[in-house]
Structure 1
Amino acid sequence: MKIGFLVCPGTMPGSARRREDAYEHDLQVQAIRPEIEAHGGTLTEIDWRDPIEAFNGFDLILIGTPWDYQDDEAEFLGKLDDLEFAGITVCNSSDMVRWNARKTYLRYLEARGIAIIPTLWIEKASAADIDAAMYAFGCETVVAKRQVGAGAEGQTIHHMGQTAPDWHMLHPAMIQPYLPQIATDGEYSFIFIDGQFSHALRKRPAEGDYRVQSLYGGTEESITPSDADVRSAQAVIGAIPFETPLYARIDVVRGDGNDLLLMEAELIEPFLYPEQGPELGPRMANAIAKRIQIT
């Protein structure tokens, strides 16, 4: 089997434009590639912007680390459509990615019983919307995020009385209360491969920050979650209105009542934390082989 692993210039090995966190790409590929080869296959990194002819011969394309897709969403989704039209299996599917790319999918999941962080959805967010969110949530600190975004890019935190009057967000926004437990307890990630739980971890931000990504100094540790927490994360997988995703990372934070609140259901290009899940490579390779046989 010939597997393609979608990347961008920021994660492509040897690129002069590699990101500081591109080592995460390396860890993920190093976990998956040997297991694909053990199945008699190959794993090849390929820039998602390469012409469609460059994808000839691939059996399946993994949406690996195209960590700039949010800036060219329409082009990215169009490329996934083109790949599928050419008869190449894309994981996760273009329909699923299109649904997941805009974080309004959280509203769909909430309507189906998944607990999420309270959110205001604003097309053109301004300083007045920040004040309105603080009033609505009864809090003094909120976080504004892009509805189409990744890696906390463009994300801002606002404290009462400290937002510049001319502040605005250029992209459609979502505004949420800042939850201090992200710093004290951490954010939890549950990794699922082909619908089956693989491993879990806890992520914490650096001192004085609120973002858990390694790019901002965040750290992570492996955990053994309770059965109840795994079931809660599994319920998110069950609520996704598509076929079972090949891979998924469910990011949650613990609410005041010890329940889990969904932050993200990452179905596009999540880092899957192979260091915390040493079985990730074999699980991915087995699931990929199964998909190719089915298709």
Structure 2
Amino acid sequence: MPIHTATRRLAFATSADHPSIQPDDMHLATSLERLGIQPVVCVWNDPQVDWSAFDAVLIRTIWDYFKHYEAFLRWLDRLDRLGLPTINDSALLRWNSDKRYLLELARLGVPTIPTQLATASALPDVLATMTGQQVVIKPSISGGAWHTLRGRAGDAALADAVARLPRELDYLVQPFVPEVVSMGEWSLLYFASEFSHAVLKRPATGDYRVQGEHGGSAVPAQPDAATLAAADRALAAVATIGHGDHAYVRVDGVVSGGRFLIMELELIEPFLHLAGQPHAAERLAQQVALRVPPRHAPGDDHAGSRQNAAR
């Protein structure tokens, strides 16, 4: 039973490769409808979308934004000019879109996997300081293990692979953490800074990537108190730099040497592991609803300003 008399329109931002609401988000969409919010699927970089027709944009499966990064930033600028709220906030999306934020978290005292940032041309010099170590190299703006390498620094095979990486990108260089394979990677889901649920992800046999498209798996699990406390502290650190208000965040990390190390904070388009978690989907829907402004009557000043900005 809708609790609002006027249906608000919410753009459910997706990508061309995933243009429909994914099964994991279906109960979220249904819950939004019950709250008087109409989710409308919109491919984020489709030039035919009239963004001014919506009350807010929920960022969901824009899983190719890093391949079109300049266009992505221009899109956020356009939404800002329209005065159209994004969920999460556009400033937070910009900050989180470049994984060099991990260096900022480390400076704030957040335990992270040690990370170095390097241009493509500087990668051989960085790897020369890590000879003999197993390392992971990934673009600072990336997702889904895109252009990600694993190998032993100093080996010819890794050097050859590094030489073939796109030269225009910047890269993160990290020591490989074997516990990702032996113990698994945690994903902790938070809605409005409150812990909701968690999964433990494992790679397929012989692999190190936990993403489903690479054969990885995820099962519901309950993190211990120390892991939860570490994730809470990481989010508190993010709040100190002005990014404390978010509808959703996924905290990814691994327990190594008795500490929970942050691997990534996913605040843009994380897979939320809502399947089988109806109450979690409903809680998130309530948080999203709080961030969608009231419906404006056609012809009012606010609607007019959006239409002008869209031209």
TM-score, normalising length: structure 1: 0.89
Residue 16 of structure 1 corresponds to which residue in structure 2?
A: none
Are residue 8 (structure 1) and residue 15 (structure 2) matched? yes
> 5 Å matches for 1:145-224?
145-160=138-153, 161-163=155-157, 165-166=159-160, 167-168=162-163, 169-170=165-166, 171-224=169-222
- Residue pair 1:192, 1:199 contacting (<8 A) in 2 also: yes
8 A contact 1:127–1:163 mirrored in 2: no
Count of paired positions: 280
One-letter identity of the residue aligned with 1:275: A
Deviations 1:35-72 (A, max 9, x none): 00111221111011123861122111011111111011
Q: In structure 2, what residue type is equivalent to 1:98?
A: R
Give the secondary-structure state (helix, strand or coil) at the position aligned to 1:163. helix
| 1:198–1:277 CA contact under 8 A, matched in 2 | no
Q: Aligned equivalents of 2:66 and 2:196: distance in 1?
A: 27
C-alpha distance in structure 2 between counterparts of 1:165 and 1:227, whole Å: 41
Structure 2: unaligned runs, 5 residues or longer: 1-7, 296-311
Corresponding residue of 1:270: 270
The percentage of counterpart residues that share the same residue type is: 31
Residue 126 to residue 109, structure 1, CA distance change in 2 (3 Å) = closer
Q: Distance in 1 between matches of 2:245 and 2:270?
A: 16
- Aligned equivalent of 1:233: 231
User: Deviations 1:171-208 (Å, cap 9, x if unpaired)?
Assistant: 21111111111011000011011111111110000000
- For the residue of structure 2 that corresponds to 1:95, the secondary structure is helix
Displacement of 1:266: 0.7
User: Quick check: which has more Rg, 1 or 2?
Assistant: 2
Tell me, which stretches of 5 or more residues in structure 1 are unaligned? Answer: 14-24
| Residue 141 (1) aligns with residue 137 (2) | no
- Displacement of 1:90 in angstroms is 0.4
Matches within 5 A, 1:62-141: 62-125=58-121, 128-129=124-125, 131-135=127-131, 140-141=133-134
2:281 is aligned to 281
CA distance, structure 2, for counterparts of residue 275 and residue 29 of structure 1: 8
Contact 1:63 1:269 in 2 (8 A): yes
> Is the CA contact 1:130–1:158 (under 8 Å) kept in the aligned structure 2?
no
Q: Hey, what's the Cα distance between the residues in 1 that align with 2:122 and 2:228?
A: 38
Q: Which deviates further from its counterpart, 3-12 or 206-215?
A: 3-12
2:28 is aligned, of 5, 25, 32, to 32
- Distance verdict in 2 for CA 1:283–1:129, change over 3 Å: farther
Give the counterpart letter for 2:268 in structure 1: I
CA contact (8 A) 1:3 1:61 kept: yes
Instruction: Give distance in 1, aligned partners of 2:250 and 2:158.
Output: 35
Larger deviation, residues 221-230 vs 205-214? 221-230
How far, CA to CA, are the matches of 1:221 and 1:186 in structure 2? Answer: 10
Q: Could you say if the C-alpha distance between residues 176 and 51 of structure 1 is closer, same or farther in structure 2, counting changes exceeding 3 Å?
A: same
Q: C-alpha distance in 1, partners of 2:214/2:121? A: 24
Do the aligned partners of residues 126 and 84 (structure 1) sit closer, same or farther apart at CA in structure 2, a change above 3 Å counting?
Answer: closer
Conserved 8 A contact 2:28-2:284: yes
**8 Å contact kept, 2:103–2:115:** no
* 1:187 and 1:203 in contact (8 A); partners too: yes
Distance 2:215 2:159 in 1: 30
Q: Kindly provide the CA deviation profile for residues 218-253 of structure 1, in whole angstroms up to 9, marking residues without a partner as x.
A: 001111122222121121221212241111100001
Equivalent residues of 1:52, 1:82 under 8 A apart: no
Task: Quote the Cα distance in structure 2 between the aligned partners of 1:53 and 1:28.
Answer: 24
